Amino acid sequence: MSSIRIKILATAEQYLKDHSLADAQINALCQSAGVSRTSFYREFRNLDDMFSCVVASMWANILKDIIADVEAIEAPEQRLFEFSKQVASIAQSRRYLPWDEKNITHAVKLMHKEDGKGLAAILSVISPFMLRCQQQGVLRQDLHSDEIADWILRQMWTLMSIPLPPSFANEPLDRYIQIFIVDALRPNTTTAAKADDINTKLDQILDKLRYL
C-alpha cells in the first residue's frame, strides 16, 4: 500500500467523523490529506471506492484486535462466544465511528457492491479464526470458513443497522449471540441413520392416520 493511499485513508477516517458521505468533497479531503486530486484518482476510482476501503481497513483492524484478545481464552466454545459478543457489542454501540444511519447503510452496501476487495480484506481476517474453530469442533463442518465469516458479518451489519433497545442491556444481547450465532453454527450431531429412523417412524404414523 502506497504512502499516499495510507495518508488518504487515515485522513478520510477523521474527515468522515464530521461530514456525511453525501457532503464529502474530494477537494476538501485532498487538502486535509495534503495530496492532489490526481494522486487521489491514482489510488481510488471515486469517493465510494475510498469509503469502502476506509470501512474495510477500520473493521479489519477492529477484528484483528478482537481475535488477539480472545485467543487467550482456553475453551474453544467460550472463545467463539466472546469473539461474537465483542463484535456484536462494537457494532451495536457504533463507537467505532459516529456515522449517521444513511452512512452506515451506504457503507454496508458498498462492502458488497464495490469490487469486493474491501469485503475480502475483512473476510481474510475472520476466516482463519473460523477455520480454527471448525478444527476444534466448535463450528459445523459442512460450511466453508469464508461462508461462516460472511454469516458473522451479516449478523454484525444487522446489529449495526438495527441495534437492540437500550433497555435490553447485556442479557438479551447474550441470548441473541447464543441463539442466532453460536447455536446456529453449532456442529450437527444428528447422524444420517438417526434422521432416516425418524423419517421412517413419521411415515409409519402417517400410514396409520390414513385408516383413522
Q: What is the mean pLDDT of residues 82-88?
A: 91
Q: How far apart are CA 183 and CA 153, in angstroms?
A: 16
**209: DSSP letter:** H
Domains of the chain: 1-44 (1.10.10.60), 47-187 (1.10.357.10)
Does position 192 have pLDDT exceeding 50, yes or no?
no
Q: What pLDDT, on a 0 to 100 scale, did the predictor assign at position 205?
A: 64
d(Cα 4, Cα 118) in Å, to the nearest integer? 18
Judged by average pLDDT, the poorest of 68-77, 79-88, 126-135, 195-204 is 195-204
User: Which one has a higher pLDDT value, 170 or 21?
Assistant: 21
Q: What is the pTM of this model?
A: 0.77
**pLDDT (tens digit per residue) in 44-82:** 998 888 888 888 888 899 999 999 999 999 999 999 999
- Residue pair 51/117 in contact (Cβ under 8 Å)? The answer is no
Mean per-residue pLDDT for 195-201? 58
Q: What are the C-alpha distances in Å from 171 to residues 85, 174, 177, 200?
A: 11, 5, 10, 40
How many C-beta atoms surround the C-beta of residue 167 within 10 A? Answer: 6
